[in-house]
């Protein structure tokens, strides 16, 4: 009765019999954790690829817009150079006797205030009328030509004054009195140009493009010593605005 079955004892004392289920559970747990971490790493790798692709697309689009701006700048520079040369060739001999200069930014300035208006008045002097009658039809023939007309969006006639106004109590009053004067002068200039018989066939284009702008003393001209040049500050300017500025502005807005 004291003898026990060897098979039964072996089953009770085997070092492996009681650990098998536990080892199996540990193996299963480690396998599940491994599969979990592999899935997360795959997800992170996928997200990184998405972000990388978005960054590449953005860089390509940015480069395309940058090239467009460069093209507009090159076209504008070519346009401005050709228009400047055509205007300069036309008026080179006349500018000195008119007291005028042509800037490379396509601004033509009439600087001799003695020939423009009487002091404090907005009526064109007869000498300035003669100058405009000679100048304007030739000027219009160039800017209204098929080569340039579609690229010019505005022709600004700007009136400028000195900072002075006789008997004004302060600089602020002088500024606003000169504002009214400069506006009246540009309007009378535009009205005179519009009345010329030589441009009657172009009145529609003139009314669509030309504006009169009185700027008072906001853009003074100074001598090399830094002193206000009263004579040159009292001037009339013809400033051309092209579609290049608006096109570049539109492209810059897209990039931003």
Q: What is the pLDDT of residues 87-132, one digit of tens each?
A: 999 999 999 999 999 999 999 999 999 999 999 999 999 999 999 9
What is the total count of domains within the chain? 1
Rounded-to-integer distance, Cα 57 and Cα 63, Å: 10
Rounded-to-integer distance, Cα 181 and Cα 118, Å: 11
Kindly tell me if the per-residue pLDDT of 199 is higher than 60.
yes
Percent of residues, the chain, with pLDDT higher than 90: 61
In this structure, how many other beta carbons lie within 10 angstroms of the beta carbon of residue 252? 11
At 58 the pLDDT is 77
Q: Is residue 149 part of a domain?
A: yes
Q: Is residue 60 part of a domain?
A: no
Q: Is residue 111 part of a domain?
A: yes
Rounded-to-integer distance, Cα 151 and Cα 144, Å: 10
Q: Is residue 55 part of a domain?
A: no
Predicted TM-score (pTM) above 0.85: no
CA atoms within a 13 Å half-sphere pointing along the CA-CB vector of 121? 10
The CATH code of the domain that includes 227 is 3.30.1330.60
Q: Is residue 68 part of a domain?
A: no
Helix (H, G, I), strand (E, B), or coil: what is residue 62? helix
At 145 the pLDDT is 95
What mean pLDDT value characterizes the chain?
84
Q: Is residue 95 part of a domain?
A: yes
Starting at the edge strand that comes first in sequence, how are the strands of the sheet with 100-102 ordered? 100-102, 107-110, 235-242, 152-160, 210-214
**What domain range is 221 assigned to?**
76-255
The residues near 68 (Cβ < 8 Å, ≥ 6 apart) are: 251
From 11-15, 45-49, 73-77, the region with the lowest mean pLDDT: 11-15
Q: Is residue 25 part of a domain?
A: no
In this structure, how many other beta carbons lie within 10 angstroms of the beta carbon of residue 190? 18
Kindly tell me if the per-residue pLDDT of 190 is higher than 90.
yes
Q: Is residue 144 part of a domain?
A: yes
At 68 the pLDDT is 73
């Amino acid at each position: 009765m004291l003898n026990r079955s060897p098979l039964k004892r072996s089953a009770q004392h085997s070092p492996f019999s009681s650990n098998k289920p536990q080892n199996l559970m540990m193996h299963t747990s480690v396998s599940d954790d491994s599969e979990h971490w592999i899935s997360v790493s795959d997800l992170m790798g996928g997200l990184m690829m998405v972000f990388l692709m978005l960054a590449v697309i953005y860089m390509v689009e940015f480069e395309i817009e940058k090239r467009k701006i460069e093209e507009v700048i090159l076209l504008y520079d070519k346009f401005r150079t050709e228009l400047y040369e055509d205007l300069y060739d036309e008026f080179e001999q006349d500018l000195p006797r008119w007291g005028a200069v042509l800037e490379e930014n396509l601004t033509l300035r009439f600087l001799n205030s003695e020939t423009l208006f009487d002091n404090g008045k907005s009526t064109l002097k007869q000498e300035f009328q003669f100058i405009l009658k000679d100048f304007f039809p030739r000027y219009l023939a160039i800017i209204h030509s098929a080569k340039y007309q579609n690229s010019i969006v505005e022709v600004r006639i700007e009136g400028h004054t000195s900072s002075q106004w006789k008997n004004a109590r302060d600089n602020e009053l002088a500024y606003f009195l000169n504002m009214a004067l400069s506006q009246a002068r540009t309007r009378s200039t535009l009205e005179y140009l519009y009345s010329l018989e030589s441009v009657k066939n172009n009145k529609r284009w003139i009314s669509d493009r030309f504006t009169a702008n009185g700027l008072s003393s906001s853009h003074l001209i100074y001598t090399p010593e830094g002193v206000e040049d009263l004579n040159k500050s009292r001037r009339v300017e013809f400033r051309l605005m092209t579609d290049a500025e608006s096109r570049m502005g539109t492209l810059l807005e897209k990039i931003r």
